Structure 1
Amino acid sequence: MFARKLKALGYPSISNFDHSDQKKIQELVIWLEDQKIRHYKIEDRAALRKTSDISSWQRAFSKYLDDLSCPHSDRTNSPVTTDWLLGLAVRLVYGENPQRYRTINFYYVTEEAVKILRLLHIQNLRQLQSQINEALVIVQNVTANPKTDQRLGKIGR
């Protein structure tokens, strides 16, 4: 469900992520805050790191969502909230340098395709030239080196 966003963000354990597992959600939230969102100062992230006590972590997580202005009223570890956090992280990461992602240069791809087409065209021309040469040899065998038949008074075969 979240694999594409996790992959876009470079999350290290995509294959092990399970959105129904509380510990995995906590690890994801901590990783997002540490690596991508960076809304809190490092020393203010301590409440999110206390994952042993579920109730205190839920309070810290709810406050974190409030501080980020999460539009969803559900402050639990629902898939909607997780998806919103991932979307925010993607927006922050890819919004830092939008020009880098907007200018897609297909020149290289086009140039490589043109090179391949040129090579194929040259190969076809070489085959055609070989066929023309074979036809010339056959025609020369028929027309060249004529023998004279004096009885008929004609030159040729």
Structure 2
Amino acid sequence: MFRRKLTALDYHAHDNFNVDDDRQFRSLIVWLEDQKIRHYKIEDRENLRNITSPDWPSYFQQYNKDLVAPDFKKREEQLDWLLSFAVRLDYADNAEKYKDQTSESVKKNLSNAPKVVSENPLDNLDFEADEFKKGVNTLAQLLNVTQHPDHLITLSAISKVVTQRLSAEALENPKSVIIQGTPFPVQEADLGFDTGDYVLNQAAKVLRLLHIHELRDLQTKINECIVSVQSTTANPKTDTRLGKVGF
């Protein structure tokens, strides 16, 4: 959560900083004071620099008071405020450097950066190319998927069919994915309200059925979580050797 601000401040360990590590946290505070904030005189920073001292938390608390920082209860909140404060000071010290920075200049700098070549072939696909659209429509015809005007929505429907019906588990046990029983008479179902348009009424019925299906799937997952928790908490293991009889 601090990476962007640490990067902006050119902190050397912005990628692997761990706020829960006392040594890393204290070292960062000292670095901020020495390099960016500079609230104390150099000779007054000794207590803060002594990061192994058992009294360091009290020194840090006094440091926050001297900076008139809000009284935060969590370390993460304290650090976030200090980083924001340091960024403001750094900008004030280098206003001439940053005042000409625009979105165009940033994009230009990024364009000059070395390009990372991805090994994933999907990253190189042009999803708006006519050839890609033709391939999606052809695949939809092979899988009997109704085509949508937006080929990406059609591709999403194809993805659902492939993951649900053509997975390794589904191919080994086709009966687990093939719907059994009598089809639901959606045409005869009661919607509960009338839109005044027959086509809209039928579409609303379909949407209601899809919503019910999602709710059932959610309830199934909730039940699975409950069963999993109960299997852990409802069967505690006891050590009978610790039991005593009498007094």
> Normalised by the size of structure 2, how large is the TM-score?
0.40
- The CA distance in 1 between the partners of 2:93 and 2:52, in whole Å, is 34
SS at match of 1:104: coil
1:80 aligns with 2:77: yes
Counterpart of 2:63?
A: 64
Matched ranges for 1:18-29 at <5 A = 18-29=18-29
Note if contact 2:72-2:78 (Cα within 8 Å) is conserved in structure 1: no
Tell me how many residue pairs correspond in the alignment: 105
Shift of 1:11: 0.3
More helix by share: 1
SS at match of 1:53: coil
- The CA distance in 1 between the partners of 2:31 and 2:60, in whole Å, is 13
Q: Which runs of 5+ in 1 are unaligned?
A: 110-157
Q: Which runs of 5+ in 2 are unaligned?
A: 109-247
Larger Rg computed on CA atoms: 1
Listed one character per residue, the Cα deviations across residues 95-138 of structure 1 (whole Å, up to 9, x for unaligned) are 2232432223659x6xxxxxxxxxxxxxxxxxxxxxxxxxxxxx
- The CA distance in 1 between the partners of 2:7 and 2:72, in whole Å, is 27
Listed one character per residue, the Cα deviations across residues 1-35 of structure 1 (whole Å, up to 9, x for unaligned) are 10000000000112231011111110000000011
Q: CA RMSD in A?
A: 1.9
Alignment counterpart, residue 104 of structure 1, candidates 74, 91, 101: 101
- The CA distance in 2 between the partners of 1:9 and 1:100, in whole Å, is 14
The percentage of aligned residue pairs carrying the same residue is 44
**Residue identity matched to 1:30:** V
> Normalised by the size of structure 1, how large is the TM-score?
0.61
Counterpart of 2:3?
A: 3
**Residue identity matched to 1:67:** D
Counterpart of 2:169?
A: none
- The CA distance in 1 between the partners of 2:96 and 2:53, in whole Å, is 43
Cα 1:40–1:14 change in 2 (3 A) is same
Higher relative contact order (CA 8 A, sep 6+): 1
Counterpart of 1:49?
A: 49
Counterpart of 1:14?
A: 14
- The CA distance in 2 between the partners of 1:95 and 1:9, in whole Å, is 13
